[in-house]
Amino acid sequence: MSFPRVLVTTCRELLTLAPRIPFTGGGGREPRRPGRVAVVGGVLFVLSVGLWALWTYFGRRDMWHMLDLSVYHDAAHAFRNDDNSMYTENYGYWKGKKLPFIYPPFSGLLFYVLLPLGFTGLKWFMAIGSMLALFAVVWAAWGMLGYRRGLGRLGVSAATFAAVLWLEPVEWTLVWGQINVLLLALVVLDLALPDSRRYKGIGVGVAAGLKLTPAIFIVYLLITRRFRAAGVATGAFAATVVVGLVTAPAASAYYWSHIVSISGKVNDQLSVGTLNNQSVQGMFTRMLGEGGAATGLWLLVCLIVGALGLLAAARASLRGDELVGVVITGGLSLFVSPISWSHHWVWIVPAFVLLVHTAVIRARPLWWWLTGVFFLYFAAWPLRLNTGGDWDGGQTLQPWGLIWLAPRDNSREEHWTPIEFLLGNGYLFAGIALTLVLVAAILRDRTPLPTPLTPREPAATPDRVSSTAR
């Protein structure tokens, strides 16, 4: 069957109000010798967290400043004034940098509530909260793959946490004091709930209220026929808007009436074309400079990749591969966003879980090699680099990813060699490649979608293979 015909058939399948098989959020899978797995996972967990704590302590000048968190903290002081200053002033201070606060007023309210902790207390709160959220993400991801609650899943989650803690997007989320992992947890934990839960969708809606990008998952819920959950998510998002209007009416009115210009304030500090922006628009801006050509190509690619990705994500979810659908949609949120800093790429955490699971199920060396290469490429390497991407022995060891080896800033991205171009756009290329592989595999598999009258094979079946491996 030709690919255009595959697309037509897929659209015909999805554009129906026929009921779907509800996602139950559970299963009967369990690793062999769960007790031993729990012990090994616990040891790896302790060693990983301990090593991170030591590295952070000895490099605290560069790994404990939390610039972005200082922006949230200082903007929260302006929140109580309820004027335009929360969005017209810059905040935080580290090495001469001040940044704008560009999140919705509901985010300002959250950090205003946390002001009594002080900035030192807020650092600890964010670091510990992000760690707990990271563990919750891997726990939920393994659950979405059909692993039942118990010692085995606890051990596998602990071992996975020990690894993903050292992924570059996770490390820089902790260094900057960003909310990326917390938002990831809100979305993944919500979507891991059984479809029967009446409050499913609240996490997605609240995440969208804190930062608009997760709103793509409301679309995901709609096209996967979970209309109640999509309605709950929309209602939760609307509630965050109302809460912002009630608690800070002037700031809220200014934000929602100037949302485009507020989002664009980031360009005053960092160019869209800087290496750190691993989005489609970032890549085209590095190639063509800022202007209409880069924007036009960005919109075209986003339209094509977004449409194909959402079709594949919906079909994966409808046939029972929920984590696949969630990972694809999370990747799309990074591709289509005008700005996706490297630390926004925490969606590689559930993607890594999916790859490990596929390697275990397929039991072939190739899948383990692919999983290992994926991890090493996105890993945080202890390097001494300066702000231009050059080796500098006077710098402290910081958790740089391989993409940071390309020259950056001061328009150096415009003069990259072909190798530097591939390296400097590495996250984007790797993410799109993985997404296209998943899309092709899912859309070309014409196995009929299960219906309530012909339920799919239970996820607990030992030889069940995820669609990603077919």
Residue 13 confidence (pLDDT): 77
Tell me the pLDDT tens digit for each residue of 17-34: 677 888 988 778 888 888
Residue 467 confidence (pLDDT): 43
Evaluate if residue 208 carries a pLDDT over 90.
yes
Residue 470 confidence (pLDDT): 41
Evaluate if residue 115 carries a pLDDT over 60.
yes
Give whole-number Cα distances, 386 to 18, 58, 219, 393, 407, in Å: 56, 18, 41, 9, 10
Instruction: Kindly report the number of other CB atoms within 10 A of residue 458's CB atom.
Output: 12
Q: What's the average model confidence in pLDDT over 109-130?
A: 96
Residue 468 confidence (pLDDT): 42
**Cα distance between residue 65 and residue 175, in whole Å:** 7
Phi, psi of 425 (to 5 degrees): -105, 25
Evaluate if residue 74 carries a pLDDT over 50.
yes
Place of tokens 């079909």: 315
**Cα distance between residue 273 and residue 13, in whole Å:** 39
Confidence of residue 95 (pLDDT cuts 50, 70, 90): low
Give whole-number Cα distances, 162 to 31, 44, 67, 167, 258, in Å: 18, 6, 25, 10, 42
What DSSP designation does 417 have? -
Residue 226 falls in which region: left (phi positive, over 0), alpha (psi -120 to 50) or beta: beta
Strand partners, 341: 277
Residue 268 confidence (pLDDT): 67
Evaluate if residue 316 carries a pLDDT over 90.
yes
Task: Identify the CA nearest to 164 among candidates 435, 21, 350.
Answer: 350
**Cα distance between residue 77 and residue 124, in whole Å:** 19
Q: Which of 250-264, 356-370, 407-421, 451-465 has the lowest mean pLDDT?
A: 451-465
Instruction: Kindly report the number of other CB atoms within 10 A of residue 65's CB atom.
Output: 18
Confidence of residue 463 (pLDDT cuts 50, 70, 90): very low
Q: Which of 96-100, 248-252, 304-308, 314-318 has the lowest mean pLDDT?
A: 96-100
Q: What's the average model confidence in pLDDT over 247-257?
A: 93
Residue 453 confidence (pLDDT): 59
Contact (CB, 8 A) for 424 and 286: yes
Confidence of residue 458 (pLDDT cuts 50, 70, 90): very low
Tell me the pLDDT tens digit for each residue of 181-190: 999 999 999 9
Instruction: Kindly report the number of other CB atoms within 10 A of residue 176's CB atom.
Output: 20
Q: What's the average model confidence in pLDDT over 386-397?
A: 84
Task: Identify the CA nearest to 86 among candidates 337, 256, 277.
Answer: 256
Contact (CB, 8 A) for 133 and 182: yes
Q: What's the average model confidence in pLDDT over 138-163?
A: 95
Evaluate if residue 73 carries a pLDDT over 80.
yes
pTM score, whole prediction: 0.93
Q: Which two tokens stand for residue 409?
A: 């800033």
What does DSSP say about strands 398-400 and 381-383: parallel, antiparallel, or unpaired?
antiparallel
